[in-house]
Structure 1
Amino acid sequence: MAHKIWNWLLKNWPHFSYDKNVLEKLELQFSQNTGTVFGAIKHIEGVSKDDLLVEILSTEAIKTSEIEGEILNRDSVQSSIKKNLGLSVENRKIPPAEFGISEMMVDLYLNFDTPLSHNQLFEWHKMLTNGRRDLTDIGRYRTHESPMQVVSGRLDKPTVHFKAPPSNTMKTEMEQFITWFNEIHQPNNNSMLPLVKAGLTHLYFVCIHPFEDGNGRIARALAEKSIALSAGQPTLISLSHTIEANRKQYYQALEDNNTTLEVTDWLNYFGNTILEAQQDTLKRIDFIVEKTKFFERYKTQLNERQNRVVLRLFEAGHTGFTGGLSAKNYIKIAKTSESTATRDLKDLTDKKVLIKTGELKGTRYQLNIKTN
């Protein structure tokens, strides 16, 4: 197999090139979607707006970690996000990983418009590695002499997907990256379209791979910061959620573009991912609006058990409860008997709170709410 020449070894590094024409349609769609999302958010008031914020930030925190194979506890993440946003003061113990990623997501949301600095990246890294004991370099760029490689496969026969620049060049590389990032995001700098800025930010950062761990999560956060800077306000975009749904394609796109500086393919992939993420955000907004209307309609008609189950169904989000709600699920969530569950479910179906499908053991229930 031929030895790969990584992009940072090429003469023109880090000057990426791409075909603007291929991306024009995506940019137009992005601009329209941005307007639609902001318009929709404007119509949400009070508690529902907080719900949307907590929902998107916690899903992003969970999914950006899941892309790296780390599974977090949703309740802990949501509690931590609420606490960091000042929406709650409940005193529950949050595990370090959940607390750290939540802190980073809230910082990204609240301080999207501050210029990028080494210090901000170091702070994010400290948040992300909260509680870790296995890293040498926390809150600073990597210093180890061994090559920084992205590998998979057997220990004795690994596949090297990427080898990053050596640790002793990190200060220079990151100085250059931060200067570039802040320059292209100057309010009067129109040399690059928003999707290109976000896509290049992600790819460029990941190719430097400046930290011992956490590079993917920080790269995705930087892409979200870039989108927010281009839009002039936090975009509440479901980027990591969309990437995680097709993780293989994401890793493949990164690998296909780490030996070249011509990155039209990557920008096309990443641009489409951002558009999908915007559509997902719109569905979440619709869902939150319908949830508010739903509880206004039924608040006095549900008993405590029914209320608990309906809330649990809403927690599953706009994609619904995996496989639908069964009588068995109902018994478990409501902590009740089979006969009470049967009565409750019939009542909920009669009131048109739930829609029933299937028969006998295949009977499933879905929330009867309108979502686009």
Structure 2
Amino acid sequence: MLWNWQLSDWSQFAFDAARLRDAEAQFLKGAGVVIGSMHHLDGNARQGLVIELISQEMVESSAIEGEILDRFSVQSSIARQLGFAADKRRSNPAEAGAAELMADLYRRYAEPLTDQLLFDWHKMLMNGRRDLVDIGAYRTHADPMQIVSGALHAPRVHFEAPPSDRVPEEMARFIAWFNDSGPKGGAPMPAIMRAAIAHSWFETIHPFEDGNGRLGRAIAEKALAQSLEAPTLTALAAAINRHKKTYYAQLHAASQTNQIDAWMGWFAQIVLEAQGRTIESIRFLIEKTRLLDRLRSRINARQEKALIRMMAEGPDGFAGGLSAHNYRTITDAASATATRDLAELVELGALERVGERRYARYHLTIASREGGDGAGD
């Protein structure tokens, strides 16, 4: 089997740009909604949302690779990196490094892509690792860089990247294209088109010993941010993680040809889904603030604690809804008190009850989706 980088038309990616026109227009329209919605948030709320969204990106991006990071530790580290107030939660090296990378991407999205920037990102991402030969440098090992699965005695090769001695040349060509295709370059490209090509191209080169997936998604985020001339708040990794199996299948298919219509179309839909999720999160934050302001002085401390805990789960709320048992665990309330508190929250319009007696579940009534129902539905 020949991989795309072994074909005579390597890096001359072919696709029908007209098929992306509607997605590009929708993305720009959605970007306007994001910017407009952010104006409804005060400084603290805006900071909180930025921390939440970019920390979620790295947690989800790491989860795609099977690495589980603590969301609250990453949030705390990102807050410190961006100079915001943060708790004193300690982060392990992987969490601290991931946070540093995302904060750097957020701050320096507009800078040109360079070898040194990628080396810096790799050092951040590999923070604490002692099992790699090349950290903060492109790979140099002589063995083939392969993505494999199956038993050691009979591995299945899903992809093989260019040999290490070709990486500097391949990356020089990629970086030159990335900067030339940016908004200030000589041949600017639309946002989604550029991000899709950048991610697939970088993953093909696979220039580092480890971390290529996370760095490739960061590059895609950088491309989107540069096209919008604003730090990206697109929840790209979160959307990809929800479709992880298809993501790997699409990357695999794109690694066998330089005719990439299928990859471009799929990636465009993922970007739009991710942006929609960001808009939903912003609306949820606005609506939960309004709800708490409306209920101020009308609910007791237990009820407020439970609502804040539910809101911390985001627009999706508790899986399956809040039960009376959950409420008692959160508030230390007695059974009768919990029943009364929950009934009052339903009466006040803060919660919606589904089911009866011990099967009753409670959902927030926040309308985070445009034209949608409650956040916990």
TM-score, normalising length from structure 2? 0.94
Residue 139 (structure 2) aligned to one of 130, 139, 142: 142
Please tell me whether residue 276 in structure 1 is matched to residue 273 in structure 2. yes
Q: Which runs of 5+ in 1 are unaligned?
A: none
Aligned position for 1:41: 38
Which digits, 9 at most, give the CA deviation of each residue in 1:123-182, with x for residues without a partner?
111111111222221111111111111112222222211000111111111121111111
Please say if 1:348 is aligned against 2:348: no
- 1:75: which partner in 2? 72
Which residue identity lines up with residue 268 of structure 1 in the other structure? G
Paired residues in the alignment total 369
Contact 1:355 1:368 in 2 (8 A): yes
Cα distance in 2 for residues equivalent to 1:335 and 1:80:
31
Runs of 4+ residues over 6 Å off in structure 1: none
Q: 1:313 maps to what in 2?
A: 310
| 2:61 maps to which of 64, 68, 73 | 64
Q: 1:255 and 2:236 equivalent?
A: no
C-alpha distance in structure 1 between counterparts of 2:55 and 2:353, whole Å: 30
Which amino acid is the alignment partner of residue 7 of structure 1? N
Distance in 2 of aligned mates of 1:166 and 1:302: 64
Alignment of 1:192-271 (within 5 A): 192-271=189-268
- For residue 186 of structure 1, report the CA deviation from its aligned partner: 4.5
Shift of 1:86: 1.1
Q: Distance in 2 between matches of 1:265 and 1:168?
A: 30
Aligned to 2:152, the other structure's residue is in SS state coil
Query: How many Å separate the matches in 1 of 2:300 and 2:100?
Result: 36
Q: Secondary structure at the match of 1:204?
A: helix
- Would you say the 8 A contact 1:51–1:288 is kept in 2? no
- State the match for 2:82 in structure 1: 85
Instruction: Tell me which residue corresponds to 2:324.
Output: 327
Question: Kindly tell me: are residues 301 and 96 of structure 1, through their superposed partners in 2, closer, same or farther at Cα, counting changes over 3 Å?
Answer: farther
Q: 1:100–1:129: 8 Å Cα contact kept in structure 2?
A: yes
CA distance, structure 2, for counterparts of residue 278 and residue 252 of structure 1: 22
Q: Which residue of structure 1 aligns with residue 100 of structure 2?
A: 103
Residue 18 of structure 1 contacts residue 263 of structure 1 at CA under 8 Å; is this kept in 2?
yes
Q: Quick one: distance in 2 between partners of 1:121 and 1:260?
A: 26
Aligned residue number for residue 154 of structure 1 = 151
Question: 2: CA distance between counterparts of 1:31 and 1:247?
Answer: 25
Q: Counterpart of 1:40 in structure 2: which amino acid?
A: S
Native 8 Å contact 1:117 1:178 kept in 2 = yes
Candidates 285, 288, 294, aligned match of 1:288: 285
1:17 aligns with 2:14: yes
* SS of residue in 2 equivalent to 1:137: coil
Tell me the C-alpha RMSD between the 2 structures: 1.6
Identify the range of structure 1 (177-186 vs 275-284) with the bigger mean alpha-carbon deviation: 177-186
| Structure-1 separation of matches of 2:155 and 2:300 | 57
Tell me the distance in 2 between the aligned counterparts of 1:213 and 1:293.
44
SS at match of 1:321: coil
TM-score by length of 1: 0.95
Query: d(CA) in 1 for partners of 2:100 and 2:186?
Result: 30
Q: How far apart in 2 are the matches of 1:195 and 1:146?
A: 34
1:126 aligns with 2:123: yes
Q: State the shift of 1:348 in Å.
A: 2.1
Instruction: Specify the code of the residue in structure 1 equivalent to 2:81.
Output: N
Cα distance, 1:100–1:301 mapped onto 2, change above 3 Å: farther
Q: Against the structure 1 CA distance between its residues 95 and 340, is the aligned structure 2 distance closer, same or farther, given a 3 Å change threshold?
A: farther
Structure 2 gap segments, 5+ residues each: 370-377
Distance 1:165 1:188, change over 3 A: closer
Among candidates 360, 367, 371, match of residue 368 of structure 2: 371
Q: C-alpha distance in 1, partners of 2:185/2:133?
A: 40
Aligned twin of 1:184: 181
Deviations 1:272-330 (A, max 9, x none): 11111111111111101101111211232333332222111111111221111111212
The offset of 1:341, in angstroms, is 2.4
Contact 1:173 1:208 in 2 (8 A): yes
Alignment deviations for residues 40-92 of structure 1 (CA, whole Å, 9 cap, x no partner): 22332212211211121121111111111111112111111211111115333
